[in-house]
Amino acid sequence: MSHLRRVITPRKLLLNISMLGAVVLSSIAGAAEPAAPTATTTWTPATQIGNSLSAWFPDIALDQAGTTHIVWNASQVLAPTTAGQGMIVASPALRDYLMYERFSPSDGADNPPATDIGLAGGGEAIRSAILVDRAGTLDVLYRSSEHIWFIKAPVNAAASASAWSEPHWISGMGTAYYAAIAQDASGDLHVLYTENTPVDVDKGNPPALRQSLFYRRSSDDGATWSAPVRLSNPSSLRGTTRPQIHIKGSTLMVAWDEGYDNINAVGDPTQGVLRRSTDGGRTWQPVQTITDAGVPIEQLTFAFGTEHHALIVWRQTTKDIIRFSTSDTDGAEWSTPTTIPNIVARHYYEKHQFDRYALAADSAGRFHLFAVGQVDSPDHVALFHLEMRDGAWSAPQTLYNGVGYPEYPGVATDGGNRFVVSFFVRDTLFDVGNYRVWWANGLADAAPVARQAVPTVVPTPISAPTIIARQVSPNATLPAGSVPPDERARIDRPPDVVSFGEGVLAVTGIVGIVVAMQLWRLRRS
C-alpha cells in the first residue's frame, strides 16, 4: 500500500502563511469597523400641503410657540381670453403665486387654509425665504418682476393676506433670483440676494453680466436698509447660487455655490465659498473657497454647532458622493474633506438642477443633515435624514420614499430638539409638471427648549393699491378657500415703484423741460 505525501516547499509555506494572515487581518478589520449608529430623531410621516395648483420651492420657519410657517411657489396656467364668436385674443399664460400656510399644535385640524400673499406673472419662479423674528413678526423675501421684495406680517394674523405689509424693494436694478434672511440676537435683520451685475473684466461692450451675491442689513425691523455690499468677487465670471446665512452671536457666516450661472446659462460647477463677519455684518473677512481635490462641487451647506463647532457639507458633481468637513473655530479653519458613508447622492444629470442640502444642529451638539440620495438606482431617490456627532454619521432615516423625485429640503429648528423640514416632489424629472410641497416634523434626542407665547402684534392697516385691472379669465382665481384675487395684498410691481425704463423716461422728460426753459429764457434775454 503506497502513501502519497504532500510536499510543502518553503515558497508554498510562505504563500500559505501570507494568505492566512490576510484573512485574519481582514476579519479583524471587519470586526473593528463599527456599524453606523442609529439616528435618534423621531419623525411624523411627511404630509403633503397646498391646494390643487402645482407647487415647488418651499421655505420653512418655526416660532417659539411651536407653530410651523411655510411659504412656497404655486403655479397656475390661465386660459386664453376670448372676444366675440370664440376669437382668441390672448394665448395661455402662466401665473405664479407666493403661498403661505401655518400648522399650529393648538389649531389641530383647524389650521387656516393656504393664503396667496404674493404674485408674479409670466411664469416667473418665485424663490422665497421666511423668518420668524423676535418681535412676533413673519419676515419674508420673495422674487417677483425679477426683483427681491421684503414683506412682513404679525404671526397671529399672517393667515390673512390683508395683514401683510406693502413690499419693500430689496434688490437693485438687475435680474435677481435667490434670497436668504436671518436675524441676530440684537434684532437686526440680515438678507442676501443674487443679482445680475456687470463684472470687472474686459469682455467687450456691453460688459459681461453674472449673478453676484449682495448683503444688506436693517436695524429697524425692515423699515430701512443699509447700502448693498457685494460679497462675491466683482471680477469673477463665476455665477453665484444657493446662498445661505447663519448667525452665532456677532458672527455671521455666509455660504454659497460658485460656478454655474442659472440666469445667464454659462459656466460650470466649480467650488463652494464661505465669508465671515465677526461684527454683525459691518465688515467682512476675505472669502474662503471650499474645494475638493480639483473635483467640481455644489450644494454647499453650513451650520454652527455648540461651543465652537461648525460643519459644512457638499456633493461632488462627477461622482455620486456627499462630502463634509468640520471646524472647531466657528468656521475659521476646516478639516480635510471626508466622504459621508451609507448614502449615495442623487445622480448629477444636469448642471442646472436646483436641489440643495439643509443642515442644522440640536441642543446636544448633534448635526442633522437632510439630503436626497439614491435608493437602488439613479432613477429611484428618496429624502434622507442623517445625524453626525463627534465625527460619526448615523445610518440614514427615510423621510420620503414615494412616487416622484423629492428635492430642495429646507429645515428650521427651535434651538432645542425640534425640527421641521420642507421639500417638494417632482412628478417628472426637470420637466414642467404637477409638483407638490411636503413637510415633516421631528423630535431629536436632545434637551428641549420651553415653548413661549409669540408676542401679539396688531396689523398695521394699509390702503389698497390702485392698479389697472387686468383681463383675466374666470379660471385665474384660486380654488375655494383661498383669498379672492381682488382682495390679495400683492401685485406684480408694488405701487409707488417705477421700472428702470419708466424712470429713465421720467428723468429724460424732466431734463428736457429744464433745457427748454433755459433756451426760452436765453431767447428772451
**Which is more confident, 517 or 174?**
174
Task: Say which amino acid occupies 94.
Answer: L
Element (H, E) at 375: strand 367-377
At which residue does the C-alpha cell 421641521 appear? 420
Residues 6+ apart with CB under 8 A from 383: 46, 370, 371, 372, 398, 399, 400, 401, 406, 409, 423
Burial class of residue 358 (count of CB atoms within 10 Å of its CB; 0-12, 13-18, 19+): buried
Task: Say which amino acid occupies 210.
Answer: R
On the CB side of 360, how many CA atoms lie within 13 Å of its CA? Answer: 21
Q: How many other C-beta atoms can be found within 10 angstroms of the C-beta atom of residue 146?
A: 17
Share of the chain above pLDDT 90, in %: 67
279: which 3 cell numbers?
461684527
Cβ-contact 46, 58 below 8 angstroms: no
pLDDT at 106: 72
* Among the ranges given (266-275, 395-404, 472-481), the one the predictor scored with the smallest mean pLDDT: 472-481
Q: Is residue 509 predicted with pLDDT exceeding 50?
A: no
Q: What average pLDDT does this structure show over 117-133?
A: 90
Band of the pLDDT at 134, cuts 50, 70, 90? very high
pLDDT at 124: 84
Cβ-contact 256, 295 below 8 angstroms: no
β-bridge mates for residue 326, sequence order: 311
* Among the ranges given (281-290, 317-326, 492-501), the one the predictor scored with the smallest mean pLDDT: 492-501
Residues 6+ apart with CB under 8 A from 150: 139, 140, 141, 167, 168, 170, 191, 222
235: which 3 cell numbers?
471680477
**Which is more confident, 419 or 489?**
419
Task: Say which amino acid occupies 236.
Answer: S
pTM, to two decimals: 0.81
* Among the ranges given (16-30, 200-214, 457-471), the one the predictor scored with the smallest mean pLDDT: 16-30
Q: Is residue 381 predicted with pLDDT exceeding 80?
A: yes
pLDDT at 89: 47
Q: What average pLDDT does this structure show over 365-370?
A: 98
* Among the ranges given (216-230, 242-256, 325-339, 341-355), the one the predictor scored with the smallest mean pLDDT: 341-355
Q: Is residue 63 predicted with pLDDT exceeding 50?
A: yes
At which residue does the C-alpha cell 415633516 appear? 440
Cβ-contact 196, 147 below 8 angstroms: no
β-bridge mates for residue 274, sequence order: 255, 288
Share of the chain above pLDDT 70, in %: 77
Q: Per mean pLDDT, which of 17-21, 349-353, 361-365, 451-455 is the most reliable?
A: 361-365
Residues 6+ apart with CB under 8 A from 259: 238, 239, 267, 268, 269, 270, 271, 296, 298
Band of the pLDDT at 129, cuts 50, 70, 90? very high
Share the mean pLDDT of the chain.
82
pLDDT at 108: 65
Q: Is residue 100 predicted with pLDDT exceeding 80?
A: yes
Cβ-contact 235, 199 below 8 angstroms: yes
380: which 3 cell numbers?
429611484
pLDDT one-digit tens code per residue, 144-203: 999 999 999 999 999 999 999 999 999 999 999 999 999 999 999 999 999 999 998 876
Q: What average pLDDT does this structure show over 224-253?
A: 97
**Which is more confident, 504 or 66?**
66
Rounded CA-CA distance 404/392 in Å is 31
Band of the pLDDT at 78, cuts 50, 70, 90? confident
163 Rama class: left (phi>0) / alpha (psi -120 to 50) / beta: alpha
Band of the pLDDT at 92, cuts 50, 70, 90? low
All domains of the chain in start order, with CATH: 42-77+91-443 (2.120.10.10)
Maximal C-alpha separation, the chain: 144
* Among the ranges given (113-122, 241-250, 292-301, 452-461), the one the predictor scored with the smallest mean pLDDT: 452-461
Band of the pLDDT at 35, cuts 50, 70, 90? confident
Rounded CA-CA distance 193/189 in Å is 13
Residues 6+ apart with CB under 8 A from 408: 56, 57, 58, 354, 355, 356, 423, 424
Q: Is residue 455 predicted with pLDDT exceeding 90?
A: no
Listed residue (414, 429, 381, 441) closest to 49, CA to CA: 441
Q: Is residue 435 predicted with pLDDT exceeding 60?
A: yes
Band of the pLDDT at 111, cuts 50, 70, 90? confident
Dihedral sign (CA 64, 67, 70, 76) = negative
pLDDT at 109: 65
Q: Is residue 12 predicted with pLDDT exceeding 70?
A: no
* Among the ranges given (37-46, 152-161, 251-260, 487-496), the one the predictor scored with the smallest mean pLDDT: 487-496
**Which is more confident, 352 or 413?**
413
373: which 3 cell numbers?
440620495
Element (H, E) at 522: helix 500-524
Burial class of residue 228 (count of CB atoms within 10 Å of its CB; 0-12, 13-18, 19+): middle
β-bridge mates for residue 52, sequence order: none
Give 3-state DSSP helix, strand, coil % of the chain, rounded to 5: 10, 40, 50
Q: Is residue 356 predicted with pLDDT exceeding 90?
A: yes
pLDDT at 188: 97
Length in residues, the chain: 525
pLDDT at 492: 31
Torsion angle of the four alpha carbons 201, 204, 210, 213, in this order, in degrees rounded to the nearest 10: 40
Question: Cis before residue 206, ω within 30 degrees of 0?
Answer: yes
Band of the pLDDT at 507, cuts 50, 70, 90? very low
* Among the ranges given (111-125, 134-148, 299-313, 357-371), the one the predictor scored with the smallest mean pLDDT: 111-125
* Among the ranges given (10-14, 186-190, 365-369, 439-443), the one the predictor scored with the smallest mean pLDDT: 10-14
Residues 6+ apart with CB under 8 A from 507: none
pLDDT at 506: 38
* Among the ranges given (157-166, 255-264, 322-331, 496-505), the one the predictor scored with the smallest mean pLDDT: 496-505
Band of the pLDDT at 460, cuts 50, 70, 90? low
Q: What average pLDDT does this structure show over 436-451?
A: 96
Distances (CA, A) of 57 to 142, 147, 245, 356, 493: 11, 17, 18, 10, 21
